[in-house]
Structures are given as structure tokens and as C-alpha cells.
Amino acid sequence: MADKTLFEKIMVGDIPADIMYEDEYCVVIKDAVPQAPTHLLIIPRKPISMLAKADLDDKELLGHLLTVANDMAKKTGIDEAFRVVINNGAGAGQTVFHLHLHLLGNKKFVENNLSF
Ligand code: AMP
């Protein structure tokens, strides 16, 4: 069997993390190296390696992750201005190969600049 991903290890408690929310389908943690004052990771329990590997069966799960991003933006008070980022593949900056959404806020975002 394949080794557990870093995020699976966090989800089973093998590696500590600041868990902000969890439900049957996903876990939300604080990013260990925040790129903005608010930087959360929304991680599905299902270990999909990257967005491109999700299939039609994952449609509801993907919708759920965005709904949770929205809820967490409200809960953390950044719902007026936030950014949701998914890095897909090493060439796009993905370093942990377990799908996750970055939720970023409390930062001045530059128009037309999609970097963190
Ligand atoms: P990506 O580069 O899109 O794959 O994002 C991976 C993210 O995981 C990065 O923003 C890292 O800072 C974050 N990260 C790595 N290790 C940990 C950890 N142990 N706890 C929380 N976040 C982590």
C-alpha cells in the first residue's frame, strides 16, 4: 500500500496541526508556513493526489470543499476579500500531493497578480 500523505498523517494524528474545523469529508488546518495573516488549508479526507485526478464521482466532494472555504472565510472574518488557490502539479507549485485548497485573507491582494 502507498505511504500515507503528509495530510493523511495529520488527519490520523500522527503529525500535529492546528485543526480549525473537521467533518466527515474534510479537515481544515492552519498552514505551517502562512503566506497571509489568514492561511488555511481545506483538505479532503479522500486522498486525491491533485485536482486533475478528481473524477465525476468527486463532484459533490469538490463542491463541499468550496462551501467549507466559504464558511471558514465567514468564521475567520475575511469574507469581504479572500483568495482560494489550488496548485495542481509540481510545475504549479504543488508540494504535497494530496488535494487541498489554500484559503488566504487579511492581506492586500494585488489586482491581476494571482501569486500568494
Ligand atoms: P502546496 O505547495 O500547494 O502543495 O501546499 C502545501 C502547503 O502545505 C504549503 O503551503 C505548506 O506550507 C503546507 N504545509 C507543509 N507541511 C505542513 C504541516 N506540517 N502543517 C501545516 N501545513 C503544512
**Residue 113 falls within a domain, yes or no?**
no
**Residue 1 falls within a domain, yes or no?**
no
Q: How far does the centroid of ligand 1 lie from the alpha carbon of residue 78, in Å?
A: 21
**Residue 40 falls within a domain, yes or no?**
yes
Regions of the chain short of the pLDDT cut 70: 1
**Partner residues linked to 104 by β-bridges:** 39, 83
Q: Tell me, what's the pLDDT at 112?
A: 86
Q: Which of 59, 55, 2 is nearest to 25 (CA)?
A: 59
Domain of 20: which CATH number?
A: 3.30.428.10
Q: Catalytic residue numbers?
A: 100
Q: Would strands 26-30 and 19-22 be described as parallel, antiparallel, or unpaired?
A: antiparallel
Summarize pLDDT for 28-58 with one digit per residue, the tens. 999 999 999 999 999 999 999 999 999 999 9
**Residue 44 falls within a domain, yes or no?**
yes
Mention every residue, 6+ apart, whose C-beta is less than 8 A from residue 3.
Answer: none
State the closest ligand 1 atom to the C-alpha of 97, by its place in the atom list counted from 1.
4
The parent domain of residue 15 ranges over 6-105
**Residue 67 falls within a domain, yes or no?**
yes
Residue 94 Cβ inside 6 Å of ligand 1? The answer reads: yes
**Residue 20 falls within a domain, yes or no?**
yes
**Residue 62 falls within a domain, yes or no?**
yes
Q: Tell me, what's the pLDDT at 2?
A: 74
Q: Would strands 26-30 and 38-44 be described as parallel, antiparallel, or unpaired?
A: antiparallel
Q: Tell me, what's the pLDDT at 114?
A: 84
Q: How far does the centroid of ligand 1 lie from the alpha carbon of residue 80, in Å?
A: 25
Give the pTM: 0.97
Residue 52 Cβ inside 6 Å of ligand 1? The answer reads: no
Q: Tell me, what's the pLDDT at 88?
A: 98
Q: Tell me, what's the pLDDT at 73?
A: 98
* Residues 22, 46: Cα–Cα separation, whole Å: 13
Q: How far is CA 66 from CA 3, 52, 59, 71, 81, in A?
A: 27, 16, 11, 9, 15
Q: Tell me, what's the pLDDT at 115?
A: 81
Residue 15 Cβ inside 6 Å of ligand 1? The answer reads: yes
**Residue 28 falls within a domain, yes or no?**
yes
**C-alpha radius of gyration, the chain, whole number:** 14
Query: How many folded domains does the chain comprise?
Result: 1
